[in-house]
Amino acid sequence: MPVNAWGYPLIYPTKSGGFVYEQSDDITKDQYFNGEGHVTNSSGGQWTMSTSGPDAVQIAKNSTTADAIGGCNMSFQQCVDRGYEYKADDPRDIMLMFAVKFVDSGSDNGFAVEGPTSSHSSSGCCSGNCYKVDIQYRPSQPVFRFRKEMFHVDNTDDPNTGNFTHPTFNFQLLGHSTYVAFAYVRYNKANGALSGHNTTDSVVLEFWGNVHPDTSPLDWFLIKRTEDRGGWGNSGDQCDGDKDQISTWAGQKFRLKSNDTSGEFQFKNLSLREIDPNGNFDDNPDTPPPPDQPPDPTTVQGQFKLQWNVNTIGASSCQGAGTGGGGGNTVFWLLSPSHGKELSDSSTFQNRTRIGELLKSSSSLLYNKITKQIDVPLMKVGTPTTPDIHCKIWNSSGTVVYDSPTTIDPTTLTTSFPADPDSWSTFDFSANTHALVVGDYIGVEWTGTSSTSYVMAAYDDDASSNTIAVYANYESGTLDEKPSRDFCARMWQ
């Protein structure tokens, strides 16, 4: 997977021709950053934000000081119609990443990453509309929450996720001696809004973290994801919009903000990128080496996908066999885990109980194959107990064709995806006689109902299969297909 200037994974591909900002060693001189007098620069790209509450710094493509069209009287309906609040090329779908140390604090007023947004200059200011994620750094275990500021000041917590924690962040942020890192992701999802709104799009928010960015810059994990489909907030009609306005438009700027009366926060490695959430890293492949300089056959860099028989002779001594009772000689790889997806029959996660791969064409190299074993990367969040996790094949009508006799007790899972595929959860398919056909869906299922203790499976970005085989979520009784993704698994035939 591609990385940024500090070795952090991009997670989502950069939008073609999109805006990319990565801070310089002296952030106070950066064109796209405005410290508003709260920032002092240190060596090596480190900088300090001091607050006397409320204070914020700004990152913006077009202007850090200009206001939205209409200013505090900005019309939500007009923003929906034209798609932006200041300029047509303002960022909308973005990832904002940074490393931070919360050094000192005078009050328990937290820290927020927010945007897109514009002026927050006065009470009732509609241009203050924004999504945000709030970080409470004073508790012994940090508390997070997604919020929507419908206008300045009218904040409402996300009704689906509320306050949340993550087991990996099991220490107090305030006074922690080393940097931690966060990423704020915001993008539109086509046709995701509930009916009766002035937009058909929903807005997805994701919050990612890394507790050891200096020593493990690739070790990022999803803390929480939510989706605004409607029903969040009740005052948007004061700004010429729906009462629960879904804020789908591009905006002028993004902010790091705190109300702390005497906060001192040290930062580095700040970046803002426009992303293509449905894109594929393969759209920008690395330049191949010249023919007379073949790559070293023992070294592989980055992500790759094998979705075909890697051995044309099944008895190859290099090939090995399945280990979970299913055996088999041919291996199909479906990527490695880089994104986690929650499994829980809870509205917080769209009542998602299954994740898997859906065959779309007889051209798929999984077509007409009889699976004998599947290894799947799984992890847990919180303390899920029952029921056990199943791995199944469903046909195009949703009927179970095969249910592996192997089930996984969620209490036995670790709190991160195992890096070694040999440590993935293994499901025995040795008694399976069904050859996969178009419309079949193969994947894992967990039907617990908790929004705080649940199971996570993995996917990765890869659109090369596209209509041949696609990743799909089973949400609220239907399959939600994602042509730019693939289910992470190792399948033995």
pLDDT tens digit string along 95-144? 999 999 999 999 988 999 999 999 998 889 999 999 999 999 999 999 99
Average pLDDT, the chain: 87
Name residue 358's beta-bridge partners: 441, 470
The strand pairing partners of 256, in sequence order, are 57, 113
Provide the 3-class DSSP secondary structure of residue 77.
helix
Q: Where are the domains of the chain?
A: 20-279, 331-492
Tokens 């007790």 -> residue? 409
- What span, in angstroms and rounded, lies between the C-alpha atoms of 349 and 165? 16
Is 255 within 8 Å of 7 (Cβ atoms)? Answer: no
- Say how many residues make up the chain: 493
Kindly state the average pLDDT of the residues 453-475: 73
Backbone phi, psi, residue 189, to 5°: -120, 120
Contact between 271 and 4 under an 8 Å Cβ cutoff? The reply is yes
Residue 375 CB burial class (10 angstroms; 0-12, 13-18, ≥19): buried
Query: DSSP assignment, residue 145?
Result: E
Its sign, for the CA torsion 379, 381, 385, 388, is negative
Please give the Cα distance from 150 to 238 (Å, whole number): 9
Which of the given ranges, 132-146, 351-365, 384-398, 450-464, has the highest pLDDT on average? Answer: 132-146
pLDDT at 315: 33
Residue-level pLDDT at 242:
98
Q: What is the pLDDT of residue 4?
A: 95
Percentage of the residues of the chain whose pLDDT score is greater than 90: 70
Cβ contact 353:345 at 8 Å = yes
Q: What's the pLDDT score for residue 324? A: 55
Question: In sequence order, what E strands does 339-462 have?
Answer: 339-343, 352-359, 373-376, 379-381, 390-394, 400-403, 425-428, 441-445, 454-461
Work out the pLDDT band at 9, boundaries 50, 70, 90.
very high
- Equal fold, 20-279 vs 331-492: yes
Buried b (16+ CB within 10 A) or exposed e, 51-80: beeebbbbbbbebbeebbbbebebbbeebb
User: 44 to each of 25, 97, 284, how far by Cα in Å?
Assistant: 6, 17, 30
Give me the numbers of helices (H) and strands (E) for the chain, helices first please: 1, 30
Would the pLDDT of 310 be above 50? no
pLDDT for 121? 86
> DSSP class of residue 41?
E
- 76, containing H or E segment: helix 76-82
Using an 8 Å Cβ cutoff, are 344 and 425 in contact? no
Query: What is the predicted pLDDT for the residue at 254?
Result: 98
Q: What is the pLDDT of residue 389?
A: 96
pLDDT of the residue at 367: 81
Evaluate if residue 352 carries a pLDDT over 80.
Answer: yes
Report pLDDT for 179. 98
The string of pLDDT tens digits covering residues 12-71 is 999 999 999 999 999 999 999 999 999 999 999 999 999 998 999 999 999 999 999 999
Lowest mean pLDDT among 70-84, 116-130, 176-190, 352-366: 352-366
Q: Taking the chain, what is the end-to-end CA distance rounded to the nearest angstrom?
A: 28
pLDDT value at 330 more than 60:
no
- Domain 20-279, what fold? Jelly Rolls (2.60.120)
Please give the single-letter amino acid code of residue 389.
I
CB-neighbour burial class of residue 318 (10 A; exposed 0-12, middle 13-18, buried 19+)? exposed
> What is the reported pLDDT for 470?
75
The CATH number, out of the four listed (2.60.40, 1.25.40, 1.10.3470, 2.60.120), of the domain defined by the range 331-492: 2.60.120
Q: Give the Cα separation of 161 and 149 in Å (integer).
A: 16
Q: Burial of 48 by CB count in 10 Å (0-12 exposed, 13-18 middle, 19+ buried)?
A: middle
Three-class SS state of 28 = helix
Please say if the pLDDT value at position 459 is more than 90.
Answer: no
The token pair that represents 68 in the structure block: 């939205």
What pLDDT, on the 0 to 100 scale, is given for residue 487?
Answer: 84
DSSP secondary structure string for all residues of 388-405 = -BEEEEE-TTS-EEEE-S
Convert the pLDDT of each residue in 407-437 to its tens digit: 999 999 999 888 777 789 999 998 999 999 9
Angle at 392 between CA 415 and CA 482, to 5 degrees: 70
| Residue 390 to residue 356: CA distance in whole angstroms | 12
Q: In 10 A of CB 471, how many CB atoms? A: 27
Per residue in 205-231, pLDDT (tens digit) is 999 999 999 999 999 999 999 999 999
Q: In which element (H, E) is residue 81 found?
A: helix 76-82
* Six-digit token string for 395: 């046909």
Q: Which of 267, 166, 159 is nearest to 220 (CA)?
A: 166
Q: Which two tokens stand for residue 425?
A: 């959860």
Confidence of residue 204 (pLDDT cuts 50, 70, 90): very high
